[in-house]
Amino acid sequence: MPSDNLSTETPRPLTALTEDEKLFQSSVRRFAREQVLPHVRQMDEAGRFRQDLIAQFFALGLMGIEIPEEFGGQGGSFFQAVLAVEELSAVDPSAGVIVDVQNTICNNALLEWGSPAQKAKYLPRLASDTVASYALSEAGSGSDAFAMATRAEDRAAAFILTGGKLWITNAAEAGLFVLFANARPEAGYKGITAFLVERGFPGFRVGKKEDKLGLRASSTCELILDGCAVPRENLLGEVGQGYKIAMETLNQGRIAIGAQMIGLARGALEHATAYARQRKQFGKPIAEFQAVRFELAKMAVDVEAARLLVYNAARLRDAGLPFLTEAAMAKYFSSEIAERVASKAVEVHGGVGVTKDYPVEKLYRDAKIGRIYEGTSNIQLATISKKLLA
């Protein structure tokens, strides 16, 4: 007989989806395969994401998933944003990161910290036609994100921003930037402040676009602020709250990077499995050789383990429960396995795996950044160990 204090109900697996989530997932998966997939190679070679696809992201509601319906958004959940990033990334991780940055970092920063007037002004645009970008990193501040040199001088009606940002995702397409500068340098990181900077503000411009190893269709650019006047009403939160805003938004964004990486890994596994079934050696498909079968099995275990970590962190966030450590674990592990699974997928393909005729070559290149951006693997380990040893 079961103990009285134990539930006899079968627990729902972390990877189990509600019916609404299944419908949402299948619609994004179908869109990714039918509309994005045909253009992936061309976009990678050109180093540019198609504007018509971004327009379709908006039309489908993928750029405003958590934005309330009153502002033109979908009124959905963070978990749905994670599903969208995963499904797009299984086809093209560049597509996944565009949707990721928009939803889990920029939109959520405005939803959490924006004033009523800021929400009324910008959320309808972010849901309908304006790409957003998150501008924190600089030449001298990467993992030490708050050793920033960009300054904001308070001149009553406006802040004058001077400096520059590097490695800013979505910058080529963005019309709005959540940008950080230090308004009180003498206070150190306690002076860091967040601003909503429109692309057309005088003194602001997007500079060089980086020529990258992977995620080539996703733009990564420098930003130049030469006495950029930002109206006081575009101060996000309060002066000195930038540290808190950045940390809280990045913690959420790391879950979505985990989703990007599990999508990438799943895509690599699917390509490897399909190739193993059709590629013949010694008179039979290589999938019949135990060495290949076991390699595919280990790849599948890695993907499922990473998915459990990512989904768990996303569910915790939606439930309003602490998720800092779980987000770090999800981001760390998924980025590690994405690189490993993509590498193994290339090996399963043999010689053709390193050619551009097969998608695994691109996925392998795309995977490398997962261990670096939005907090390196070492930063995630530092976060995890801090909680472990507290």
Query: Which of 138, 222, 361, 374 is flagged as catalytic?
Result: 374
**Amino acid identity of 194?**
A
Cβ neighbours, 10 Å, residue 205? 13
d(CA 374, CA 368): 13
Angle, helix 360-367 to helix 242-278, in steps of 10 degrees: 150
Decide if 19 is catalytic: no
DSSP 138: B
Cβ neighbours, 10 Å, residue 388? 9
Per DSSP bridges, beta strands 220-231 and 235-236 are: unpaired
Q: Which residue has the tokens 């193993």?
A: 276
- Tell me how many helices (H) and strands (E) the chain has: 12, 10
d(CA 272, CA 303): 13
Are the C-beta atoms of 330 and 258 separated by less than 8 Å? yes
**Active-site annotation, residues:** 374
